[in-house]
Amino acid sequence: MVFTSLEFLTLFLPLVLLIYVLARPQWRNGVLLLGSWAFFGWLSPMFMLLHTVLTVITWVGGLLIARAPLESKGRVRWLAGLIVLNLLVLCWYKYANILAATLSELLLSMGALPLEWQKVALPAGLSFIVLQAISYLVDVHRGTVKVERSFIDYATYLLMFGQSIAGPIIRYSWVSEELSHRGLSRRNFSLGARRFMIGMSMKVLVADSLSPLVDVAFALEQPSFVDAWIGCLAYSLQLFFDFAGYSAMAIGIGLMIGFHFPENFNRPYLAHSIQDFWRRWHLSLSSWLRDYLYIPLGGNRGSRWLIYRNLFLTMAIAGLWHGGDSWNFLLWGAAHGVALCVARIWSGAGWFAMPRALSHVLTLLFVALAWTLFRAPDFATALNMYAGQFGFNALGLGDPLAATLRPVHGIAAALGVFCVIAPIYQQRCEARLGDNPLFNLLGSLWPVLGFLLAFALIASRETVPFLYFQF
């Protein structure tokens, strides 16, 4: 069950919201927790069991850390043990398959029989739940948050179905007050519903419409220059509108029930440098990496080479976190780490500053090329796509992609590009038109119209899972 499925939109979400609104305020966390257990149980009872066990362990672990004296070895040991436990669980479910596959390839190359292995399924939301649990434990250890003594409140924070599947990655300090004291208001509910409808439109109308085109492009054995770049640019739009659409839906659900989750994207394709891109893309992950990985590694302290090491390791680990089906994710993160180091060297050396337009184009070019590595199922496929992108194959549009292209793909791509650049002119229009009734009416109606069209498409075709569910 995903947010863009009929069972979620017509059964699960309305029922949970109805019970939540009718429940007494002191019971609402319990309603959310039961709804979250039902959500994960719908996906798989084993997912619900695993998440519940992790929740109990980290809740008890937080209490044990808080009981230990500050700066004591016992406090550090509890924290280290709990972090290692969470990471071991994550590594088993996320990386056991690729390690087994790599070992099998090695055995085959040596003339031995491959390893017999049954694939391990990655529980939905595990990557995000583990990061939230680690941030909570570290903050309790640091004394920056008070330990949560209510299991229901803590489990609600960790497992909330609205955002635990694919983010934003919420820190306990951001929602601790609202966990215990929050209200319902028509304004928040209407704003939340609007954000949910916008996110659903982004996902269904743009991302899902481009999905078949991307699949065909990345399946070509020898993509042409046009094939490779159509596939690469289509995926760049698909990934953004899929992930940003989910984040908007999660933020919208949060608003409807009284939580204020932070924004997760800030127009990333308008970035003018690679540093600026990471200040705009997946903001909750970027800030988590900075506060719980980059700074503990040493951050900007130490020699220049130590800073470069910290940057590179942070991004390489971020890439590895994204997936365990291919080593491409590690290479993608390493590529971004190198790019951040090069950008830092460039600015630190005082070399000439690039024109903003050129810097913007080069940033988008690098990001798009890196997305090719991110999307390709294996390194051989990525090399095939790069061969096409750099003109080593034919130049024109190939027959398979030509047969796949439909007017809807062009409309979806144009809509996506418009949504990327529209914010640039939005403030100008508001400044010129002021309190214009027609402008205000259009601003109120388009999310509803987009939602209705998206709902009609959902009812007429198979549900397309969110891309970040696999991470």
DSSP H helices, 224-355, are 225-256, 274-278, 283-289, 295-297, 304-322, 328-349
Q: How far apart are CA 271 and CA 105, in angstroms?
A: 40
CA separation, residue 428 to residues 24, 193, 422, 433, 434 (Å): 45, 26, 10, 9, 10
**Any long-range contacts for 184-188 (C-beta under 8 Å, 24+ apart)?**
184/21, 184/257, 184/258, 188/255, 188/256, 188/258
The pair of three-digit structure tokens given for residue 328, joined into one six-digit string: 């491409």
Q: 218 near 376, Cβ under 8 Å? A: yes
CA separation, residue 440 to residues 250, 309, 421 (Å): 25, 50, 20
Using CB atoms within 10 Å of the CB of residue 84, give its burial: 0 to 12 exposed, 13 to 18 middle, 19+ buried: exposed
Q: 146 near 448, Cβ under 8 Å? A: no
Q: How far apart are CA 359 and CA 265, in angstroms?
A: 20
CA separation, residue 386 to residues 228, 332, 373 (Å): 8, 14, 9
Q: How far apart are CA 356 and CA 353, in angstroms?
A: 9
Kindly give, in sequence order, each residue whose CB lies less than 8 Å from that of residue 410, ignoring residues fewer than 6 positions away: none
Q: 358 near 273, Cβ under 8 Å? A: no
- First vs last C-alpha separation in the chain: 16
Q: Nearest CA to 377 among 329, 443, 319, 315? A: 329
Q: What is the mean pLDDT of each run of 10 residues along the chain (471 residues)?
A: 86 94 93 93 87 95 92 90 95 88 84 81 88 96 93 95 84 93 90 90 88 92 93 94 92 93 92 94 93 91 89 94 84 95 83 84 95 93 94 87 83 76 61 62 73 83 71 64
Q: How far apart are CA 176 and CA 206, in angstroms?
A: 35
Q: What single DSSP character describes residue 390? A: T
3-state secondary structure of 384: helix
Q: How far apart are CA 323 and CA 239, in angstroms?
A: 15
Q: What single DSSP character describes residue 27? A: G
Q: How far apart are CA 416 and CA 414, in angstroms?
A: 5
Looking up tokens 């016992």 gives 74
Q: How far apart are CA 307 and CA 340, in angstroms?
A: 11
Q: How far is CA 256 from the centre of its chain?
A: 21
Q: Which pLDDT does position 404 carry in this prediction?
A: 85
Q: Which pLDDT does position 469 carry in this prediction?
A: 66
The dihedral built from the CA positions of residue 42, 45, 50 and 54, taken in this order, carries a sign that is positive
Q: Which pLDDT does position 97 carry in this prediction?
A: 85
Q: How far apart are CA 106 and CA 26, in angstroms?
A: 57
Q: 408 near 233, Cβ under 8 Å? A: no
Q: Which residues are catalytic?
A: 322
3-state secondary structure of 92: helix
Q: 93 near 86, Cβ under 8 Å? A: no
Q: Which pLDDT does position 437 carry in this prediction?
A: 67
**pTM strictly above 0.85:** yes
Q: 137 near 82, Cβ under 8 Å? A: yes
Q: 242 near 251, Cβ under 8 Å? A: no
Domain positions in the chain: 6-182, 189-460
Q: Which pLDDT does position 429 carry in this prediction?
A: 63
Looking up tokens 């569910």 gives 469
